[in-house]
């Protein structure tokens, strides 16, 4: 049910203030999306980020040290939530997205192809608003699955505007960091068959509500960059 959850959140996300962080130390070739370095605010969320709760009460968002570096830690217990940040740039200028993530608990039986078991321990969504943005925004989702085969391109069964690339699944070791680099521009073209509009935001999500189970994952800083 990830697609319908995200579509419900789009209006809230797109009306939020635009917050965009550039890595000036790296020059003009890297744009950093950082959920950890500023710490947690009084609301228990990473500073500069906002929460969207889809199903189930509560959210467990932590910032912890890993090898003396802060990382984001998400825990889902029968619920579904994400943190999001609004962005505004042309994906043609920074087509690549790189990040590290780690999963320690997969939702048992999680499978994006089945509405009744559509849970994932780790999800990264890049949002591409098209007018009217509340109902017409495209989402490119990179997900750490359980049962769905890696490399599969999947259209959400709840929203045709949400398309997934399955990067990891149960065959990947739990508790180990994995590095990713995706050509988001090309992924958008492959998934939607068109040229993308500007990027409007990014969401980091976790859910285990459909399987009524538990999921746990970690994220590092994300970077949009040139080749």
Average pLDDT over residues 92-115: 97
pLDDT at 127: 97
CATH code: domain 2-225 is: 2.60.120.430
The pLDDT of 100-129, averaged and rounded, is 97
**pLDDT for res 227:** 82
pLDDT score recorded for residue 14: 37
pTM of the shown model? 0.88
Whether the bond into 132 is cis, omega within 30 of 0: yes
Please determine, for residue 188, whether its predicted confidence score (pLDDT) is greater than 90.
yes
Starting at the earlier edge strand, list the strands of the sheet with 50-55: 50-55, 80-89, 199-207, 122-128, 138-144, 162-168, 153-155
For the chain, the structural domain boundaries read: 2-225
Q: Assess whether pLDDT exceeds 50 at residue 22.
A: no
Q: What is the mean pLDDT of residues 177-189?
A: 98
Averaged pLDDT of the chain: 89
Dist CA 121 CA 80 (whole Å)? 10
Helix (H) or strand (E) holding 10: helix 2-15
Contact status, residue 68 vs residue 34, Cβ threshold 8 Å: no
CA 30 to chain CA centroid, Å, is 19
Tell me which H or E stretch contains 184. helix 184-192
Q: What is the DSSP string of 84-132?
A: EEEEEE-TTTS-EEEEEEEEEEPPTT--TTSGGG---SEEEEEEE--SS
Chain-centre distance for alpha carbon 133: 18
């Amino acid at each position: 049910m990830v697609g319908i959850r995200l579509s419900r959140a789009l209006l809230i996300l797109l009306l939020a203030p635009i917050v965009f962080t550039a890595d000036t130390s790296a020059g003009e070739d890297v744009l950093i999306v950082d959920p950890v370095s500023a710490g947690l605010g009084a609301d228990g969320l990473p500073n500069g980020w906002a929460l969207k709760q889809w199903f189930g009460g509560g959210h467990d968002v932590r910032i912890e040290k890993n090898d003396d570096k802060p990382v984001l830690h998400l825990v889902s217990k029968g619920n579904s939530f994400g943190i999001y940040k609004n962005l505004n740039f042309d994906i043609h200028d920074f087509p690549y997205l790189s990040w590290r993530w780690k999963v320690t608990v997969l939702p048992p039986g999680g499978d994006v192809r089945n509405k009744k078991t559509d849970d994932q321990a780790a999800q990264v969504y890049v949002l591409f608003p098209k007018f009217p943005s509340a109902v017409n925004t495209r989402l490119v989702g990179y997900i750490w699955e359980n049962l769905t085969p890696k490399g599969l391109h999947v259209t959400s069964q709840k929203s045709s505007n949400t398309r997934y690339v399955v990067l990891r699944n149960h065959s990947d070791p739990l508790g180990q960091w994995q590095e990713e680099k995706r050509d988001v521009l090309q992924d958008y073209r492959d998934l939607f068959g068109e040229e993308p509009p500007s990027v409007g935001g990014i969401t980091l999500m976790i859910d285990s509500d459909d399987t009524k189970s538990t999921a746990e994952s970690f994220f590092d800083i994300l970077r949009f960059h040139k080749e």
